[in-house]
């Protein structure tokens, strides 16, 4: 849409781009980073600084006086990870989160890694999006314990633009 705002030679006509969306979905990270968190990649700030052209106007379901009780009842039946974005307009959700209940309950106090423990490294590569390097050890019960992570990000949903070979070669412990 933004690439179609062409009105050269018509100074009295100001072209604008307006967008509206809900949290979640395929573009969630991009929308949140750009509009809410104001994280702009360098190509949005140089040679022209587009940051002043963006404004976020939040809107929640209770801003709409025309919603009936059945709509509110439906929103209340959603699991919390969906209810918060759709009812409360909460953009701090994890899109595609496999374990929505994952939290403090699933954390353990740091433990020393036994000398004979098997160590593993996992790599979820991203170039324009963040990457994640994780280091794990296996305890006596066969449980994987993640003891270190390098999250390669320059901002929300923005990667370091580093080749995978460079990231893994810099990751040696």
Of residues 39, 19, 42, the one with CA closest to residue 30: 39
* Mean pLDDT in residue range 78-93: 81
Q: What are the Cα distances from residue 113, in Å, to 135, 158, 173? A: 11, 32, 14
pLDDT of residue 27: 76
* Mean pLDDT in residue range 150-164: 82
Tokens of 64: 């709409």
Report the share of the chain in percent with pLDDT over 70. Answer: 79
Higher pLDDT, 45 or 167: 45
pLDDT of residue 173: 46
* Mean pLDDT in residue range 104-115: 78
Position 7 confidence tier, pLDDT thresholds 50, 70, 90: low
pTM exceeds 0.75: no
């Amino acid at each position: 849409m933004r690439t179609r705002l062409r009105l050269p030679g018509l100074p009295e006509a100001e072209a604008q781009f307006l967008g509206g969306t809900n949290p979640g979905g395929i573009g969630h990270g991009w929308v949140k980073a750009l509009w809410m968190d104001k994280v702009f990649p360098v190509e949005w700030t140089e040679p022209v600084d587009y940051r002043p052209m963006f404004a976020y106007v939040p809107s929640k379901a209770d801003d709409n006086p025309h919603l009936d009780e059945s709509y509110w009842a439906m929103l209340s039946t959603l699991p919390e990870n969906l209810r918060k974005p759709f009812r409360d307009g909460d953009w701090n959700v994890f899109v595609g989160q496999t374990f929505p209940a994952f939290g403090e309950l699933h954390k353990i106090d740091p433990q020393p890694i036994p000398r004979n423990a098997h160590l593993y490294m996992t790599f979820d590569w991203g170039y324009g999006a963040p990457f994640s390097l994780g280091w794990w050890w296996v305890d006596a019960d066969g449980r994987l314990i993640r003891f270190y992570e390098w999250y390669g990000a320059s901002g929300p949903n923005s990667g370091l633009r580093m080749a995978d070979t460079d990231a893994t070669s810099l990751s040696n412990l």
